[in-house]
Amino acid sequence: MKYGHFDDSAKEYVITDPRTPNPWINYLGNEDFFSLISNTCGGYSFYKDAKLLRLTRYRYNNVPADSNGRYYFIKDGETVWNPGWQPTQTELDFYECHHGLGYSRFHSKKNEVEADLTAFVPLHETCEINRLRLKNTGSEPKQLTLYSYVEFCFWNAVDDSTNFQRNLSLGEVEVKDSVIYHKTEYRERRNHFAYYCVNRPIDGFDTDRDAFLGAYGTIQNPKAVRENISGQTMASGGAVIGSHRIVLNLAPGEEQSLIFILGYAENPEEEKWEALNVINKKPALQTIQKFADEKTVDQALADLNDYWNQLLSRYTITCSDEKLARMVNIWNQYQCMVTFNMSRSASYFESGTGRGMGFRDSCQDLLGFVHLIPERARGRILDIAATQMEDGSAYHQYQPLTKRGNMDIGSGFNDDPLWLIAATAAYIRETGDLSILDEEVDFDNNPTKKDSLLEHLKRSFNYTLTHLGPHSLPLIGRADWNDCLNLNCFSKEPGESFQTTGPSEGPVAESVFIAGMFVKYGAEYAHLQELLGNRLEVKRARKAVEEMTEAILKDGWDGEWFLRAYDASGEKVGSSENEEGKIFIEPQGFCVLAGVGVENGYAQKALDSVHRHLETKYGIMLQQPAYQTYHLNLGEISSYPPGYKENAGIFCHNNPWVSIAETVIGRGNQAFEIYRKTCPAYIEDISEIHRTEPYVYSQMIAGADAPKHGEAKNSWLTGTAAWTFVNVSPYILGIRPDYSGLLIDPCLPDSLDGFTARRIWRGCEFEIEVRRADRSNGEQAGTFVDGAKIDGSLVEPDGKQKLHVLKLL
């Protein structure tokens, strides 16, 4: 069942039924000011940091779901309705929510009134604009009263939802003309405030939430709206809202437009005040004036559209499979940009108050956006590297505002260091900018301890080699990519961390997954050293990679598939000898994509085993059989009910590894089948089962052991976005940046005869055409550049601005 449809020409998903299984959201904002917005106008806004500088309140886990938001109540006689259906839930005559790139538009109708609400954050501005157009489509004049509504958050979202003894005595506002200023805590240590305004005179306002809602009132049926009168209340302590009251008289056929702005403004310390305890409103008024008329708003929307079209035009394809094209051209790249902006901070599953930036998460996200914003990727790599420790290990997380490592969780996740090589290599493959390797970068954010980025990579590489276990495989530490495989932890008490309790970093537990990573990114490291002409280091690195490959083939092979690990007692994990958790997905995907076992047939065997034991109609499960009980020696993985999360859920992030692995052994049909199974556009028809947005990836889909097999959770902020893009673009479609050229090496399913692509790479526009050779007409496979056949598949631009590449399969 579907709740809407894609509109590819507008690059939108159009929701036509507000009762989606979950709120289906979108992100507004590109730089500093961000908003989450759902298909019913729910969500919240923040400036830079979703925890520390939150403008509006949101209640996670609320009933009914998804409140608060930016709400517009339209009172038309006795009927009260909202353009986004919530919160009144008044049945609409027509409803559509268009989620587009950086904007959301609500189009609805009720009793011959048409509403058209567009919400977006203009480029380079720190505000959200809501343009609301109301039209009388009937033949009689209409008098409507409009009430706007936002509820302000007292900046620190954690304090705001916990420290009530203080909060309830803090709230302060000012109201001037049509602008409501939220200035809680401005009197002392803050020099920023929020404002909410509309571009016309108002007929009343409220800023005191309890007065607006009434005693024990609800946002579904606020007293002020019911009684059709605003109280001109000035919040003092208590909860602070912004609500404007506007009476509109609409002649038949008449349309009026209102521009609301929810903004963030700050003043230099010396210019904080206009008079005693009166805030200096200048920075807000500048923005308000700028967007007072339709023209600037239209222009800002057009600029935003241009920005996205420009960005996405760096990589586009056309092909007969419209779902593939829409994911590659629009939604997958869009989601990669959202993960760049948000990391794992704010979604409808991540509360914006928890984790900072993950070291490994951020490195992997980069694989998905480096081709879009290489300059910003460069800065991101240097920021991440600066949190690395001198011994090559890494803080598992760092704080986005301070860019410092997070002490609470510390280091010891032994896959982390290698991801830095992955990110840096991807950046250099994209840009050719080797100078990044010379950048001097702190260790542990300490400027007295710095060295070149190349040295950082060397320490990443060495970290694995200095942390090998009894089988010469890498020690796992607190966990590897699978945060929940905690082989050194033994946590027994509720509430204890699964990763940081107990010894955490033992001398025995080893990870075959990290071994596969080492083969992949160790080779990448050797390649970089080769480009720099450091022959001895190349030799050393290649030898270490060879030895690791041998160690995997010897002690990391279980007979039909790759082992997952050895636990702290040296017992096998992910082996046919185990009763539960016999086979895991991660080492099959990563060892094979690194090339391990391709020659001796292990690779194919391992992938066949994945197919046999782990594949379901909704994707590949993380392991099987699921753990039925808690295993002290394995940790958090066995804490989840069977079928969920790392305990045999379909953890979408690692499905592309297997799909890539299939391309490595040349099985295009299998690769595509795996890609398709978790790809949102292909499962739009089962939205009632899948439940999350059909335009973006989710972290997890419930596995076969779960009663709700096929149900997804945790949409948007997941490494799945980056990895599926890596899967489909450089591997299935085979447009793969190499150090000196673009490799054109597709591995297509039989269902796809070919495709064309446009790819900007190092300033050269590649026009790529891939199709099957017409052998009956004497055509042969090969790569042709501007008409001339080349040897192999590597196309070097040689200073050209435009190239036409024909690839015959």
Q: Would you name the residues annotated as active-site residues?
A: 483
**Which of 98, 344, 572, 762 touches ligand GLC by CB under 6 A?**
344
Residue nearest to ligand GLC (CB): 483
**Which of 151, 361, 430, 442 touches ligand GLC by CB under 6 A?**
361
- Contact flag: residue 350 with ligand GLC (CB under 6 A): no
Q: How far is the CB of 413 from ligand GLC (least distance, A)?
A: 8
SS3 annotation, 670-704: HHHHHHHHHCHHHHHHHHHHHCCCCCCCEEEECCC
Q: How far is the CB of 635 from ligand GLC (least distance, A)?
A: 9
**Residue 287 structure tokens:** 């923005």
- Contact flag: residue 636 with ligand GLC (CB under 6 A): yes
Question: Which one of the spans 112-120, 367-375, 386-394, 476-484 is the region binding ligand GLC (CB under 6 A)?
Answer: 476-484
The Cα–Cα gap between 668 and 604 comes to 13
Binding-site size for ligand GLC (CB under 6 A) equals 15
Crossing angle of helices 359-369 and 416-431, in 10° steps, is 20
Helices (H), 113-192: 157-160, 164-167
6 CA to centre of own chain: 20
Q: How far is the CB of 670 from ligand GLC (least distance, A)?
A: 24
Omega of the bond leading into 600 within 30 degrees of 0 (cis): no
Binding mask 144-183 for ligand GLC (x = CB under 6 A): ----------------------------------------
Question: Of 703 and 719, which CB lies nearer to ligand GLC in the complex structure?
Answer: 719
Question: Of 34 and 644, which CB lies nearer to ligand GLC in the complex structure?
Answer: 644
Bridge partners of residue 759, in order along the sequence: 315, 766
- Contact flag: residue 45 with ligand GLC (CB under 6 A): no
**Residue 722 structure tokens:** 């980056």
| 254, 135 Cβ separation under 8 angstroms | yes
| 10, 94 Cβ separation under 8 angstroms | no
What is the bridge-based pairing of β-strands 179-182 and 79-81?
unpaired
- Contact flag: residue 615 with ligand GLC (CB under 6 A): no
Question: Of 175 and 637, which CB lies nearer to ligand GLC in the complex structure?
Answer: 637
Binding mask 697-736 for ligand GLC (x = CB under 6 A): --x------------------xx-----------------
Question: Of 718 and 724, which CB lies nearer to ligand GLC in the complex structure?
Answer: 718
Question: Of 482 and 687, which CB lies nearer to ligand GLC in the complex structure?
Answer: 482
Question: Which one of the spans 332-340, 358-366, 669-677, 702-710 is the region binding ligand GLC (CB under 6 A)?
Answer: 358-366
- Contact flag: residue 481 with ligand GLC (CB under 6 A): yes
- Contact flag: residue 483 with ligand GLC (CB under 6 A): yes
The Cα–Cα gap between 764 and 452 comes to 30
What does the DSSP assignment read for 330-344? IIHHHHHHHHHHHTT
Helix (H, G, I), strand (E, B) or coil at 249: strand
Q: How far is the CB of 725 from ligand GLC (least distance, A)?
A: 16
- Contact flag: residue 572 with ligand GLC (CB under 6 A): no
| 76, 144 Cβ separation under 8 angstroms | yes
Question: Of 350 and 442, which CB lies nearer to ligand GLC in the complex structure?
Answer: 350
The Cα–Cα gap between 370 and 736 comes to 13
Amino acid at 742: L
**Which of 23, 122, 358, 400 touches ligand GLC by CB under 6 A?**
358
Residues in the chain: 809
**Which of 558, 646, 693, 711 touches ligand GLC by CB under 6 A?**
646
Question: Closest Cα to residue 413, out of 308, 483, 510?
Answer: 483
Report DSSP state, residue 364.
H
The Cα–Cα gap between 591 and 572 comes to 17
Q: Residue 528 — left, alpha, or beta (φ > 0 → left; ψ -120 to 50 → alpha)? A: alpha
- Contact flag: residue 484 with ligand GLC (CB under 6 A): yes
**Residue 290 structure tokens:** 């700028």
Q: How far is the CB of 513 from ligand GLC (least distance, A)?
A: 10
Question: Which one of the spans 24-32, 385-393, 645-653, 774-782 is the region binding ligand GLC (CB under 6 A)?
Answer: 645-653
Helix (H, G, I), strand (E, B) or coil at 271: helix
The Cα–Cα gap between 533 and 76 comes to 75
**Which of 105, 245, 360, 564 touches ligand GLC by CB under 6 A?**
360
- Contact flag: residue 482 with ligand GLC (CB under 6 A): yes
Question: Of 564 and 645, which CB lies nearer to ligand GLC in the complex structure?
Answer: 645
- Contact flag: residue 564 with ligand GLC (CB under 6 A): no
Residues of this chain, 235-254, that bind ligand GLC according to CB under 6 A: none
Question: Which one of the spans 289-297, 356-364, 506-514, 519-527 is the region binding ligand GLC (CB under 6 A)?
Answer: 356-364
Q: How far is the CB of 720 from ligand GLC (least distance, A)?
A: 8
What does the DSSP assignment read for 389-410? -TTS-B-SEE-TTT--B-TTT-
- Contact flag: residue 645 with ligand GLC (CB under 6 A): yes
- Contact flag: residue 677 with ligand GLC (CB under 6 A): no
| 17, 3 Cβ separation under 8 angstroms | yes
Half-sphere exposure of 415 (CA within 13 A, CB side): 26
User: Using CB under 6 A as the criterion, which residues of the chain lie in contact with ligand GLC when the complex forms?
Assistant: 344, 358, 360-361, 481-484, 636, 645-646, 653, 699, 718-719
